Amino acid sequence: MHPAFSVIFLTTLIGAGQGLFLALFSGQLYSAVNLLPAQSSSFYVTGSIIALVLMVGGLAASFLHLGRPERAWRAASQWRTSWLSREVIILPAVMGLVFVYGVLHFSGWQPDWFGNGIPHQPALIVGAVTTLAVFALYIATGMIYASIKFLQEWASVLTVINYTLLGAASGFTLATALAAWQGSGLVGFYGVWAVILTVAGLISRAASLYRNARIKYKSTVQTAIGMRHNAVVQKSMGMMGGSYNTREYFHGASAAFFKSVKYIFLVLVFPVPLALLWAGLEEVSVVLLGAAFLVQYIGLLFERWFFFAQANHPQNLYYQTI
Amino acid sequence: MTQLALVIDLNVCVGCHACVTSCKQWNTSGAAGPLFDENPYDKDPTGTFFNRVQTYEVGTYPNTETIHFPKSCLHCEDAPCVPVCPTGASYKRENDGIVLVDYDKCIGCKYCSWACPYGARELDEKEQVMTKCTLCVDRIYDESLPEAERKPACVMACPTNARLFGDVHDPDSEVSVAIREQGGYPLMPEWGTKPANHYLPRRKTKMHIHEDELVRVDNPLKKEDIRHKTTKDVTLDDWLL
């Protein structure tokens, strides 16, 4: 497939934003039961703003993908059948919930509903709902690709797992840098989870690379045109120039470039951020932890490019030669 | 239930592209406005077409055959492009099974084209909406046309009658009979999309020449036998032999 930068930015930005929210809420949840030191409201407010900015950026990028963005509101109508429609509904819902979560922390409204003295109870409830919505959004985003069964590189549960783990990993890395910057006591907690999620992401992404390297394609040129003969070669695709079909379904990069992107993202998403996290956690360095997020995010851009480029659409069987 | 479809006879198609150009002509002059074309007379021409003819070579030299392969939307009975559409712009008509795009609802997200394994949908780069074969829905129901002309433009244009049009759910229709009797098949059956359009396979034509067809056994004059015994009164017929 031809990787569209709008979709690359959409999936990586909202993935990191969702992961950052998960980090914020898990920090609050742990401190509510006194497993972690309590944080000031400003930490959650700043975190919510950053998560929102990431998701707004992703949403803006998604509009660039549309031919007719002025009609984007229509995209919410087919939630019964379309995973894209479901994503279109859940993404603004998550953004709204994160906004409410930040506002609740900002307001300082602290009713003691349960009579146990836990701070920020409304934010905890909204945060729990948001967490469910965040996971629903990871699933919706992944399923947009995993549900197309004949794009065999995508049609796997690993696609959903990768979107979730890699988004969460980049979000927790960002949360580690944020905690270091804000002088929060959660640096170690986030840092350890960032490492765990990054390693888990490496395992699942490696599994999908392994799986995709061994795919046996169901469609062949024989099934595409229905000729039962071993030697079938396309001689003409019926036109002199290109078409939508020749542009949309192939990445257009050289084999060497394509292969090098794989190694670039494998280095940038996993070992380099892990090393930076390790070094940054040693002396709680904002610069090193910030660099860990930046490198991982840039790596994820390569990862997403590769994800799209790797998918081999069966329609290419009809467009093999000019 | 009706399911309109095309049946394309690969044994007869000569790859003349008459269906491609007639399709472009009819659909570019329709109510929906022209289909995009860029650099039509220049380098790298490109444009939107509903129907394209591709050419394949089957076999190895010298035993090869050339297959001209026209392909448009197959109007799948279980069309994968329909459920993925987030706006409901892509739909399959209940009454005749034609898969259509509502150009006024399409947001140009391209998801339906990704979900079509046949590459039958093309984004119109100028209108930025998804386009595809409509089976000339504006022709086949046009009662101002004579009944014989209420067929898709490609079917009307085909000089070798390689394209048949009709209801594949009606067992007595021309297309159903052709599919049944000539082994019509769908494309990429492995995905369960159940395309309505079918293709009729190439047919082997064999000729057996018997000895008695080479020798004129039924010639009462047996001119072959008198070939060497020509006399002075040679006729023209004798001379030819």
On average, the pLDDT of chain B sits at 90
The backbone region for B91, taken as left when phi is positive above 0, alpha when psi lies in -120 to 50, beta otherwise, is: beta
Distance CA A299, CA A112 (A): 44
Question: Cβ(B108)–Cβ(B229) under 8 Å?
Answer: no
Question: Cβ(B188)–Cβ(A316) under 8 Å?
Answer: no
Beta-carbon separation of B111 and A84 below 8 A? yes
- Residue among B149, B164, B166, B237 nearest B200 (CA): B164
Q: What are φ and ψ of residue B94, in 5° steps?
A: -65, -40
Q: Which of B71, B82, B190 sits opposite A219 (nearest CB)?
A: B190
Distance CA B67, CA B56 (A): 5
Amino acid letter for position A249: Y
Beta-carbon separation of A235 and B39 below 8 A? no
- CA A119: distance to chain centroid? 31
DSSP symbols for A149-166: TTSTTT-SHHHHHHHHHH
Among A210-214, B72-76, B228-232, the least confident range: B228-232
**Which residues, including other chains, have CB under 8 Å from residue A239's CB and lie 6 or more apart?**
B45, B49, B52
Beta-carbon separation of B107 and A242 below 8 A? no
* Residue A198, min C-alpha distance to chain B (Å): 30
Secondary element (H or E) of residue A210: helix A187-213
Distance CA A143, CA A59 (A): 18
Beta-carbon separation of A77 and B88 below 8 A? yes
Residues B89-143 pLDDT 10s: 999 999 999 999 999 999 999 999 999 999 999 999 999 999 999 999 999 999 9
**pTM score, whole prediction:** 0.90
Per CB-CB distance under 8 Å, the chain B contacts of A314 are 117-118, 188
pLDDT at residue B241, as a whole number? 47
Beta-carbon separation of A315 and B88 below 8 A? no
What are the tokens at B146?
A: 């004579």
Q: Search chain B and give the residue with CA nearest A223.
A: B188
Beta-carbon separation of A225 and B56 below 8 A? yes
* Residue A251, min C-alpha distance to chain B (Å): 14
* Residue B224, min C-alpha distance to chain A (Å): 46
* Token pair 């009809």 in the structure block, residue: A318
pLDDT along chain A (322 residues), means of 10: 95 97 96 89 95 97 94 94 96 97 92 84 95 98 96 97 98 97 92 97 97 96 94 92 92 94 97 96 93 98 97 94 76
Check pLDDT > 60 for residue B228. Answer: no
Residues B164-217 pLDDT 10s: 999 999 999 999 999 999 999 999 999 999 999 999 999 988 888 877 677 665
Question: Cβ(B87)–Cβ(A78) under 8 Å?
Answer: yes
Beta-carbon separation of A150 and B71 below 8 A? no
Beta-carbon separation of B187 and A225 below 8 A? yes
Q: What is the ipTM of this complex?
A: 0.92
DSSP, collapsed to helix, strand or coil, labels residue B140 as: helix
* Residue B143, min C-alpha distance to chain A (Å): 34
Distance CA B203, CA B162 (A): 13
Beta-carbon separation of A149 and B191 below 8 A? yes
DSSP, collapsed to helix, strand or coil, labels residue B17 as: coil
What are the tokens at A113?
A: 């509903």
Beta-carbon separation of B117 and A85 below 8 A? no
DSSP symbols for B40-79: TTSSS-EE--S-EEEEEEES-TTS-EEEEEEE-----TT-
Per CB-CB distance under 8 Å, the chain A contacts of B125 are 244
Torsion of CA A106, A108, A111, A115, to 10 degrees: 100
Mutate to test the interface with A, among B84, B121, B126 (most CBs of A within 10 A): B84
pLDDT at residue B183, as a whole number? 95
pLDDT at residue B101, as a whole number? 96
In B84-161, beta strands by DSSP E: 90-92, 99-101, 122-124, 129-131
Per CB-CB distance under 8 Å, the chain B contacts of A59 are none
* Residue A219, min C-alpha distance to chain B (Å): 7
- Residue among A95, A74, A41, A291 nearest B87 (CA): A74
Beta-carbon separation of A237 and B46 below 8 A? no
What are the tokens at B176?
A: 């159903």
pLDDT at residue B11, as a whole number? 95
Distance CA A237, CA B54 (A): 5
DSSP, collapsed to helix, strand or coil, labels residue A112 as: coil
Q: Which of B60, B67, B105 sits opposite A225 (nearest CB)?
A: B67
* Residue A253, min C-alpha distance to chain B (Å): 19
Per CB-CB distance under 8 Å, the chain B contacts of A226 are 185-187, 199, 201
* Residue B231, min C-alpha distance to chain A (Å): 59
Per CB-CB distance under 8 Å, the chain B contacts of A316 are 119
Beta-carbon separation of B52 and A147 below 8 A? no
What percent of chain B has a predicted confidence (pLDDT) above 90? 79
